[in-house]
Structure 1
Amino acid sequence: MGRRRGSASVALILLVLGVLGLAVVVLTGWPASVPVASEAAVRTRPVKATVISSEPCGARTSGDVVEVTVDGRTTRARLDGCGHTAGQQLDVRVPVDPGSDFVVRPAAEGDSGSGDTAAAQRLVWVLATLAGVAGGGYGLLVRPRSAVAG
């Protein structure tokens, strides 16, 4: 009879772990399926920028001012960042069709502008969480018999 109770608790543990794992996968993948209008609609391209004026980082900063050359025309724009040194050269991304007033964003290493980095980061979080859940479940399954009875 004790054997039956043990297998029922194992089945319950596995069911809870399975539901938890499924919930993690769904909740982590869900934001990826909702397109963000401002980022999805704006394609960018890499350019070099020179910091003209720097603002200290804080809650109310509007960003540093940089000078970029887009389609042969040099213009000033706001950088989505702060605290850079005046005269510093940066790799940035500007909109493909910038218009008159635009914000440039720092270019990340290996940034292709396609959102692959965000998807890879989500996958890392899903796999790390599932590994933690599996490890915890394994710990529950292999605990000593005396701990189960007491």
Structure 2
Amino acid sequence: MQTIQKSISPEAVTGFKRVAYHESFVVLRDLNMVQQVRIVTVNEAGRPITEIVDQDASLSAVQKQNALARYQEQLVTRQTAGAFVDPTTGKVVAEAGEGIITQRDFFQAVCLGDLKKMGMTINDKTSVAELLYALISNEITNIDARGDL
């Protein structure tokens, strides 16, 4: 595997296709986590729009600059600190309340059985890296489902 990437929901206003690329995942001193995802707008064939614009010799310098600004990659950062989830669904909720736990605690409670429920095949040869990549990939899906990408 060279990178963690996922097709995500289309851009809300234009409906253009997008791909999320894992940028970084950090575990902080207090064990809260930070994940960064790079969002790239792509054409129907999956080619980044910025790449197409950059290589289009028919565009003037101003047209190219405007198009690159419009379709530039976005870096989205989300963290567990201050986030709460419903432990029965894993959905992020607005604030703490009865039966609600921190997102950090929820993430720390994920076990191999949960990964199997996600459809991952796990055996004695499954590497820890594969498990971590599956969690990171799944969290990209969760962030997208919340409308945060």
Does TM, normalized by the shorter one, top 0.5?
no
Using the size of structure 2 for normalisation, the TM-score is 0.23
Using the size of structure 1 for normalisation, the TM-score is 0.23
Please identify the structure whose Cα radius of gyration is greater: 1
**Larger RCO: Structure 1 or Structure 2 (Cα < 8 Å, ≥ 6 residues apart)?**
1
